[in-house]
Amino acid sequence: MRKFLGRLVLLGAVAGAVLVLRNYLQDSAAAKRGDVQVVVDTGATVEPGSAEAQEFVDIARKVLEISG
């Protein structure tokens, strides 16, 4: 019985972590101006518009999903 309760607590913790992560990713899905800065070879920074910034965020999210 104790082993079962331990597994149930562990399952609840994992489910809670998944919920928190999902909510965090949904809230941070929309990229705003200033969220993304691109540094070019010359050292200058370029701040893309919101549509381009959203593309960078989407690409970064896919890379993170693939890596692990």
Q: What is the pTM of this model?
A: 0.39
Give the integer Cα–Cα distance in Å for 54 and 35: 9
Domain shared by 40 and 14, yes or no? no
Range of the domain at 42: 32-68
What pLDDT score does 34 carry?
64
For the cut 70, the answer to whether the pLDDT of residue 2 exceeds it is yes
More confident call, 68 vs 31: 68
Residues facing residue 46 across a β-bridge: 38
Question: How would you classify residue 34: left for phi > 0, otherwise alpha for psi between -120 and 50, otherwise beta?
Answer: left
Q: What percent of the chain is modeled with pLDDT above 70? A: 81
Q: Let me know whether 24 and 36 are in one domain.
A: no
Give the number of domains in the chain.
2
Helix, strand and coil in the chain, % to nearest 5:
65, 5, 30
Q: What's the mean pLDDT when you consider all of the chain?
A: 77
What are the phi and psi torsion angles at 56 (to 5°)? -60, -40
